[in-house]
A and B are shown apart, each in its own frame.
Chain A
Amino acid sequence: MKKVLVCCGSSMITSSMAINQLKEVFAKEGLNVQIGQCKFSEVPAQVVTFQPNVVVPTGALNEKDAGGVPVVRGTSFVTGVGVEQTVKQILDILKDK
């Protein structure tokens, strides 16, 4: 199963906003995707244990923390601007493998 790791600064607020929207997208696309959620500081460990196909930070994550896993910036899920493009990037990665 494909996995997406959604992360945010600390409070889980903005990552929850992103997850709500991603769930809808995956349902619409008929994709079975497991979604993980964590804080930025937990990303290096989560990349190892959860093994996501893509990491979606809602803010300014240091991309090195993703340990080579593709990162798609998900700030648009918070601002609402550019969501389609973000979704397309995520879907492209998930469908590719």
Chain B
Amino acid sequence: MIMNELIKRELILTNIDAEDQFEALKTVQKALYSNGYVKDTYFDAVLDREKEYPTGIALGHKYNIAIPHTDSQHVIKSGICIGVLKEPVKFKSMENKEIEVDVKVIFMIALNIASKQVELLQELMALIRDAEFVEKLTELNEDDILNYIKTRKDVIQ
């Protein structure tokens, strides 16, 4: 479900060269913006929100992730952009602003809110909890990531 509705080939980026969080977020949001998923106000809104309420998540996997997002008013159509970085950049932790986590995979979320999409997001989080899933994302190229996600029974259902 997530696969078909939210994760598209055009929204999968790998090998992202980014010095810091700003560069990483900028590259990832560009995929959403240039493909018509979000308005030109989305990026600034994500940056503001990240400062105030950070989204880095350490799950005890080899690689940490982040789920930057913002208000639905900045979103045109729903999508989730997967951005895999060459080298991790620092995000602040969602749980505690005092803690920094090294983030290797960014899931940038653009939702024009509807309760069904929250369920989809829960499916995505279930995948992210799986260490193997996150590790696979760091190893594969864009096409293979898309194929890999298709093979996941928990996505297809």
Contacts and interface: CB of A to CB of B under 8 A. Distances in A.
Interface of A: 8-13, 16-17, 20, 40, 58-60, 73, 75, 78-81
Contacts of A59: 53-55, 94-95
B31 interface: no
B118 A11 contact: no
A81 B129 contact: yes
Interface of B: 49, 52-55, 57, 59-60, 67, 69-72, 93-97, 109, 111, 113, 115, 118-119, 121-122, 125-126, 129
Nearest to B95: A75
A11 B121 CA distance: 13
Contacts, number: 64
A26 to B, nearest CB: 17
Contacts of A40: 53
A11 B113 contact: yes
A81 B93 CA distance: 14
Contact of B69 (A11, A16, A20, A60): A11
B119 A10 contact: no
Contacts of B60: 81
Given A10-B53, A59-B54, 19 more contacts: A10-B49, A11-B49, A11-B70, A11-B72, A13-B111, A16-B118, A17-B118, A20-B118, A40-B53, A58-B94, A59-B55, A60-B53, A60-B97, A73-B95, A75-B95, A78-B94, A78-B125, A79-B129, A80-B129
